[in-house]
Amino acid sequence: MLYNELLNREEKISVIGLGYVGMPIAVAFANKVDVIGFDVNEKKINLYKSGIDPTNEVGDEVIKKASVDFTSEESRLKEARFHIVSVPTPINVDKTPNLAPIERASETIGRNLTEGSIVVYESTVYPGVTEEVCIPILEKVSGLKVGKDFKVGYSPERINPGDKIHTLDKIVKIVSATDDDSLEEIASVYELVIEAGVHKASSIKVAEAAKVVENSQRDINIAFMNELAMVFNRMGIDSQDVLDAMNTKWNALGFSPGLVGGHCIGVDPYYFIYEAEKLGYHSQIVLSGRKINDGMGAFIADETIKKLIETDKIVRKAKVAILGMTFKENTPDTRNSKVIDIVDRLKEYGVEPIVVDPIADKSEAKKEYGIELEELENINNVDCVVLAVAHNEYRHMTLEDYKKLYAKHSKNIFIDVKSVFSREELEKSDLTYWRL
């Protein structure tokens, strides 16, 4: 049994794709079995070998102590017989699924696949991709036959980047496979590192669908909050005050308005929408939620412009600082960040905002968005501060700290996207404020 051979270190696990998902998995398994960590990005591999964790998911100290065998040489995958695929699955410009990364990963594994191996995909896909796209690639490239020479499973990643409470081991792992025997083996392997246990899905398609819909559900709930926030804004009602009152009921869901980006909630619904439309069904709720959430950056920028006008600022000459560039707080990941929508909308009005983020990957921000991130200590004489991402660094700042960033005149503006400060505190200050 492959499970026993892994425990006895007679066989190895490989993790293909060492990002925010793959790295924690590789490190966790390395405490139990021999692990090969593979990524095509040599720069990233060299960082890991140097004990540096650019994702901040496990931390430098853990990386230094980890026994993961990092490599960018695909031939090393021949040494493993249990492969975990955790490459990203983004969307194209037209919002359709971009399966190129997972297809390339399948080709790479296929070139190095040996008999008796198990391949488990963790990348988010729409139902059918594992069996209709990935398995044919594995068979064609390897010359082997699924079911006879190798087995395939699907176990959707559920890691919440930046979350130090709901970590990999504390989240129930969904597992599925092409047959019952491999399902039991895959479940046993994951149980080595998942304290919360596993849930055995009835089929691979069920597991694929579960991942897509769990994030679509969150997307829809946040879209509802965002729609309420936009309506309450017109009514002159503070949406956070409404939520505070509503959340006193035992069955309130606790969602709040905000920017929805990243590589899960901001992407997965489009995978569902794409497959539904292929089958002749035009999504109503999921697509509407996506449209609302995709428009929040522009809405926040428009409200910022209104405040500039209300305070008699010359819009084109206004100096605006945006604090935060990542897709969520306390993670360096800028992929699919909706802060760029605020930036782009402000530029339409002739405003060239300064963007600051203490933990964002600066090279990634430059490559993806053409933005040169500035240091907070260099920010001064601004007319408006937009607190877009509530990093701990920003939450620990007082209003007096923020006031040091402004020009020395009255009618300075504070845009509190994440409602970090209470309305009472903002009202007592001499800042003109707006919050979502």
Which residue pairs from 308-311 have beta carbons closer than 8 angstroms and sit at least 24 positions apart in sequence? Answer: 308/383, 308/384, 308/413, 310/432, 311/383, 311/411, 311/412, 311/413, 311/432
Give mean pLDDT, residues 70-80.
96
User: Which of the pair, 372 or 261, is modelled with greater confidence?
Assistant: 372
Q: Which CATH class is domain 222-435?
A: alpha beta
Residue 318, CA distances (Å) to 61, 300, 385, 414 in order = 43, 16, 11, 13
pLDDT tens digits for range 100-134 = 999 999 999 999 999 999 999 999 999 999 999 99
User: One-letter amino acid identity for 200?
Assistant: K
CA angle 248, 266, 23 (to 5 degrees): 100
Band of pLDDT at residue 184, cut at 50, 70 and 90: very high
CB 173 within 8 A of CB 14: no
| Both tokens assigned to 4 | 């026993």
The half-sphere exposure of 326 on its side-chain side, counting CA atoms within 13 A, is: 20
* pLDDT range class, residue 168, cuts 50, 70, 90: confident
pTM for this entry? 0.90
Domain locations along the chain: 2-201, 222-435
Please tell me the CATH superfamily of domain 2-201, with its number.
NAD(P)-binding Rossmann-like Domain (3.40.50.720)
Percent of the chain with pLDDT over 70: 100
Percentage helix, strand, coil for the chain under 3-state DSSP, each rounded to 5: 45, 15, 40
pLDDT in tens, 324-362: 999 989 988 898 899 999 999 999 999 999 999 999 988
Question: Would you state the pLDDT for residue 68?
Answer: 93
How confident is residue 374, by pLDDT bands cut at 50, 70 and 90? very high
Query: What are the phi and psi torsion angles at 275 (to 5°)?
Result: -70, -35
The amino acid that residue 402 corresponds to is Y
Tell which residue, 342, 340, 390, has the closest CA to residue 368.
Answer: 340
Q: Residues 6 or more apart from 363 whose CB is under 8 A from it?
A: none
Smallest CA-to-CA distance from 96 within 303, 273, 343, 279 is with 273
How far, in Å, CA of 383 to CA of 321, rounded? 8
How much is the pLDDT for 136? Answer: 97
According to the model, what pLDDT value does residue 4 have?
A: 92
Residue 56 has pLDDT above 90, yes or no: no
Query: Residue 434's pLDDT is what?
Result: 95
pLDDT at site 57: 81
Q: What is the arithmetic mean of pLDDT over 30-39? A: 95
Q: Strand 173-177 vs strand 150-154: parallel, antiparallel, or unpaired? A: antiparallel
Taking 80 as the threshold, does the pLDDT of residue 41 lie above it? yes
Active site residues: 264
**Contact indicator for 214, 157 with CB cutoff of 8 Å:** no
